[in-house]
Amino acid sequence: MCDIQGSDTKNSQPKAEGVKTIPVTEAVGTVLAHDITEIKKDEFKGRAFKKGHLIKEEDITHLQRLGKENLFVLNIADDEMHEDEAAYALADALMGEGVKMEGDPKEGKINIIADRDGLLKINKDILTQFNMLGDVMCATLHSNTPVKKGQLVGGTRAIPLVVKKSVVEEAVAIANSVKASEHQSIKDSDPLTLCHSDTSCSGVIEVKELRKLCVGIVITGNEVYYGRIKDAFAPVITKKLQEYGCEIVGIYFAPDDEELIETRLRELVDAGAELLITTGGMSVDPDDVTRFAIRRLGVTDIVYGSAALPGAMFLVAYLQNKSGVSLLRRPAEAGSQESGVRMQNSELRIPNSEPIPILGIPACGMYHKITIFDLILPRALAGEIIGRKELAELGHGGLCLNCKTCSYPVCPFGK
């Protein structure tokens, strides 16, 4: 069984443009103009003959076993392009920072893989325009998917065996429009301005590097602070942060007291925290005052409530880093705990004027394995500003099914 992309070998079917047909028995000494795929059920699927292969006498029997009675020989006009050449041009235009091509095209398709660990970002609007052309295509993983270096993130190809150069040129122009607009926006903006989540920073497909931030955590609630119950938040949050290489600069425990929660948050900022996380105190109960304490800090862009379950009472805000410094990350040192405080100190400080994100995690973050926190944390580490629009967009796909066996991120949640 075999497949030839973009054409049909039967004489009763229309041929692709720029192609002429010759009988396989007369093909010895000619150059194959396309890949031929061989499929052996449960054993093998791949390229049996590569484009450019010089047909030999011993190849004829193999080709006939694959059902080939005729072969295509290309007759490419000046205004046309072979699928492999097109694949290179398309991939090069689609790629932004943090991705690369995986080898040569195979059967007309070329894969795009992550060139570093990070967060996959796809400009969905431009990708749709690209695919609307019809004779070219690109398929990707979902945007905002955390990926590892070497992981497949997309694939692109021309659909016909021979494609008009004008179509490829138009596709390349559409893909490159992202890079042109971003170059202008960087030129016109403050270089310290963070990239908003709805703007691709370097291409239709890119992998943003995740910053390994110093993180301060405040765990709120009278029941934990006064020792009535054992805290369950700290190990959960710490594990998730460490998976991204972040350093915990301090874990504070605070009662349901606005002033004390605010004080603890300020102390963590002074200690060099570049990301603040609070847990608990996010519901509408009279004792839940964490979000009010966050507001007292003088934060900007505060948003309470999201379109995700679990995580409806999530909060995100940003605090201007007036200290202008953050800690130089070192291997974590042994911490100590006194008066509800657990600190891990680093000695050196570096300049930093970026806003400090504050993520307020409701109680669901303690007993649900995956919540909105898992969706937003990598985006915050990628330097995105998360606002009302970004939280509202989570509604489509924002329902966790609480599967008995969790397969996140290979699941619909957050997609």
- 23-36: per-residue pLDDT in tens? 999 888 776 787 89
Note the pLDDT of residue 181: 64
pLDDT, position 18? 54
Asked if 68 and 3 touch (Cβ cutoff 8 Å), the reply is no
- The larger pLDDT score, comparing residue 294 to residue 182, is at 294
Mean pLDDT score of the chain, rounded to an integer? 84
pLDDT band at 324 (very low <50, low <70, confident <90, very high): low
What are the CA-CA distances from residue 359 to residues 197, 292, 318, 331 (Å)?
Answer: 16, 13, 9, 24
pLDDT of residue 34: 79
Confidence of residue 172 (pLDDT cuts 50, 70, 90): very high
pLDDT-based confidence at residue 345 (cuts at 50, 70, 90): very low
Q: What is the pLDDT of residues 240-268, one digit of tens each?
A: 999 999 999 999 999 999 999 999 999 99
Q: Is residue 10's pLDDT more than 60?
A: no
Q: Show the beta-strand stretches assigned E in 150-246.
A: 152-158, 162-164, 205-208, 214-220
| pLDDT above 80 for 75 | no
352 confidence band (pLDDT: 50, 70, 90): low
- Name the CA dihedral angle for 369, 371, 375, 378, rounded to a multiple of 10 degrees: -50
Tell me what pLDDT residue 354 has: 84
**Can you give the pLDDT at residue 298?**
92
Q: How far is CA 24 from CA 1, 51, 123, 229, 244, in A?
A: 16, 15, 45, 79, 56
Describe the crossing of helices 165-188 and 124-131 by its angle, rounded to 10 degrees. Answer: 160
Q: Is the pLDDT of residue 328 over 60?
A: no
Please give the backbone phi and psi of residue 292, each rounded to the nearest 5 degrees, phi first.
-70, -35
Inform me whether the pLDDT recorded for 216 exceeds 70. Answer: yes
**With 80 as the cut, is the pLDDT of residue 73 above it?**
no
pLDDT band of residue 8 (cuts 50, 70, 90) is very low
Residue 202 and residue 220: Cα distance in Å, rounded?
A: 40
The fold adopted by the segment(s) 210-393 is Molybdenum Cofactor Biosythetic Enzyme; Chain A (3.40.980)
**pLDDT at res. 5:** 43
pLDDT of residue 77: 78
In the chain, where does the domain assigned CATH 3.90.105.10 lie? Answer: 2-74
Q: How buried is residue 9: exposed, middle or buried, by Cβ count under 10 Å (0-12/13-18/19+)?
A: middle
Question: For residue 412, what pLDDT is reported?
Answer: 92
Range of weakest confidence among 53-57, 74-78, 307-311, 326-330: 326-330
**Average of per-residue pLDDT across 400-405:** 93
Range name among 7-11, 150-154, 286-290, 408-412 with the lowest pLDDT average: 7-11
Is the predicted pLDDT of residue 44 greater than 60, yes or no?
Answer: yes
Over residues 390-399, the pLDDT tens digits come to 999 999 999 9
CA dist 96 and 203 (Å) reads 4
Q: For Cα atoms 406, 407, 410, give the angle at the middle one, nearest 5 degrees.
A: 150
DSSP helix, strand, coil percent of the chain (3-state; round to 5): 25, 30, 45
Output 288 or 89, whichever has higher pLDDT: 89
Distance separating alpha carbons of residues 281 and 151, to the nearest angstrom: 39
Range list for CATH 3.40.980.10 in the chain: 210-393
Confidence tier at 201 by pLDDT (50, 70, 90): low
- CATH 2.170.270.10 assigned to 2-74: no
* Strand bridging mode 325-327 / 349-351: antiparallel
Q: What is the mean pLDDT of residues 365-386?
A: 94
> What is the percent of the chain where pLDDT is above 90?
62
Judge whether residue 344 has pLDDT over 50.
Answer: no
pLDDT given for residue 52 in this prediction: 66
Instruction: Tell me the per-residue pLDDT of 104-163, one tens digit each, with 9 for 90 and over.
Output: 888 789 999 999 999 999 999 999 999 999 999 999 999 999 999 999 999 999 998 889
